């Protein structure tokens, strides 16, 4: 007999039947396909339990009778005393119990349907006892929230290596890339979560935090039911991450969960909490950090320049232009293979970094040895009233990346650039520096005489032994 047939024949809900099974009152057999097979005896036991619970007898008392620790007659005697104390509220239960006692019933031959019919004629709905005869619902709203957040983080992280291998700098996340991450994570959640739930009963985030999902029979959910559950979570639980509406749905879900209500997407499923051991959230944090570090490391590893070691002038220029594109720096000019500036056609509404006061572009002076670039100087000169470093700062930073980052000894930082000290020095109005990084001496000399109108800034990089 299936559980649906048991529901129809006993009038009990699926949750009640599963609860009584968990309490050991019935022990259905398992079919080869894993589903439960209820017997006529199981149905008879449930009808007896239903009758006695409908008479407000405690579950502990019923279990004692079922186990043979007490006789039904003794239990009825004790229960009648209790009913007499609450006679105003339990008058109908008292009447049925007296009728059963007058009939001299025995538990083994109890005609439960007869008395249930009499009881239901007098009742105005099922007794309150049935509300508590269900497996408890798991609240844990914050555990649920962080499990779901980790899953979304994991789904979005699957996009990172694809973008990085396509040459996208994911550290420069714009609104368009944010939207792409959101769409991809929601789509992957809808596609993958039902598979996880139907195959393993959990998702990565839920499994780490000890949460497991089953149907009302305690079995794995079907793919169709799991997909419906996930769709409900996406819309009713998360509001599809639509701004403001997402906060509203999260708040409503949190309050409903705290109040022990059945959430909209859990009417056909049960959430179980295995345990609340401390290592679970710790592991979650460690995995988040691990994925983050791994993504940043891959991003740094794949970042330009891609011409490294002993590079030529042409390769330096390729590095310069490549780094400018990767960092999304709009110079309005690029370097050709000889290091000359080439104007790029402007697009409408594009802000160009060159101010109107700049009438000429400073040039690079390269130093070579056997065709290998060994050093370069970038010279800025002009009238004191018009020369400042700001319009050319990006040139120097890109030159640093194109030359210093190409050296064999160069090691990128995990979260900050190892060139940061040089970049900070360049922020001065009249920078001066003399330092060595990764086998390259970096100098900046400012010639700003107190008299006269002429000024000059020389920024140099030279390989050292």
pLDDT digits 0-9 by tens, 269-295 = 888 888 889 999 999 999 999 998 888
pLDDT digits 0-9 by tens, 89-124 = 556 777 788 888 888 888 888 888 888 887 776 655
- Give the domain ranges of the chain: 3-132, 141-301, 313-463
> Within the chain, what is the greatest distance between any pair of CA atoms?
123
Band of pLDDT at residue 163, cut at 50, 70 and 90: confident
3-132 CATH pick, 3.40.1710, 1.10.3470, 1.10.287, 1.10.1660? 1.10.1660
pLDDT digits 0-9 by tens, 413-443 = 666 677 777 777 776 666 778 889 889 999 9
Mean pLDDT of the region 204-212: 94
Write down the residue that tokens 């650039």 correspond to. Answer: 417
Decide if 319 contacts 397 (C-beta within 8 A). Answer: no
Write down the residue that tokens 């060595």 correspond to. Answer: 436
pTM (whole model) above 0.75: no
Q: In whole angstroms, what is the distance from residue 340 CA to residue 352 CA?
A: 19
pLDDT digits 0-9 by tens, 31-42 = 877 778 889 999
Q: Give the residue from 90, 87, 86, 6 showing the smallest Cα distance to 49.
A: 6
The alpha carbon of residue 236 and the mean position of all alpha carbons in its chain are separated, in whole angstroms, by 17
Mean pLDDT of the region 397-406: 89
Element at 443 (helix H, strand E): strand 440-447
Element at 273 (helix H, strand E): strand 269-273
């Amino acid at each position: 007999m299936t559980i649906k047939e048991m529901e129809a024949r006993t009038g009990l809900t699926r949750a009640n039947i599963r609860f009584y099974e968990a309490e050991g009152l019935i022990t259905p057999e398992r079919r080869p396909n894993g589903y439960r097979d209820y017997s006529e005896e199981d149905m008879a036991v449930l009808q007896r339990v239903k009758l006695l619970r409908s008479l407000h007898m405690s579950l502990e008392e019923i279990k004692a009778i079922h186990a043979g620790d007490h006789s039904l007659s003794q239990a009825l005697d004790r229960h009648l005393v209790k009913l007499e104390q609450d006679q105003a509220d339990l008058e109908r239960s008292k009447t049925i119990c007296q009728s059963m006692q007058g009939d001299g019933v025995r538990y083994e031959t109890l005609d439960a349907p007869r008395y249930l019919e009499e009881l239901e004629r007098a009742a105005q709905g099922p007794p309150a006892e049935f509300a508590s005869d269900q497996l408890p619902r798991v609240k844990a709203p914050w555990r649920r929230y962080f499990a779901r957040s980790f899953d979304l983080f994991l789904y979005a992280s699957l996009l990172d290596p694809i973008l990085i291998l396509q040459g996208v700098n994911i550290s420069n996340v714009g609104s368009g890339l944010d939207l792409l991450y959101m769409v991809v994570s929601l789509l992957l959640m809808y596609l993958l979560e039902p598979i996880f739930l139907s195959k393993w009963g959990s998702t990565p985030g839920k499994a780490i935090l000890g949460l497991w999902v089953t149907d009302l029979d305690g079995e794995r959910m079907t793919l169709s039911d799991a997909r419906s559950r996930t769709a409900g979570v996406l819309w009713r639980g998360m509001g599809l991450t639509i701004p403001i509406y997402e906060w509203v749905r999260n708040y409503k879900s949190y309050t409903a969960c705290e109040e022990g209500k059945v959430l909209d997407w859990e009417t056909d499923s049960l959430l179980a909490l295995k345990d609340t051991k401390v290592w679970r959230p710790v592991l979650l944090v460690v995995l988040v950090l691990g994925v983050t570090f791994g993504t940043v490391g891959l991003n740094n590893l794949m970042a330009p320049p891609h011409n490294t070691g002993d590079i030529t002038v042409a390769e330096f220029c390729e590095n310069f232009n490549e780094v400018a594109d990767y960092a999304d720096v709009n110079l309005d000019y690029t370097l050709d293979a000889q290091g000359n500036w080439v104007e790029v056609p402007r697009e409408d509404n594009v802000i160009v970094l060159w101010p109107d006061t700049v009438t000429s572009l400073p040039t690079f002076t390269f130093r070579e040895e056997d065709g290998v670039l060994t050093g370069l100087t970038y010279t800025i000169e002009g009238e004191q009233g018009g020369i400042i470093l700001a319009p050319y700062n990006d040139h120097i930073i890109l030159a640093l990346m194109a030359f210093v980052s190409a050296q064999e000894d160069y090691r990128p930082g995990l979260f900050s650039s190892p060139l940061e000290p040089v970049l900070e020095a360049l922020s001065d109005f009249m920078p001066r520096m003399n330092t060595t990084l990764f086998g390259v001496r970096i100098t900046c000399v400012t010639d700003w005489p107190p008299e006269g109108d002429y000024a000059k800034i020389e920024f140099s990089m030279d390989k050292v032994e």
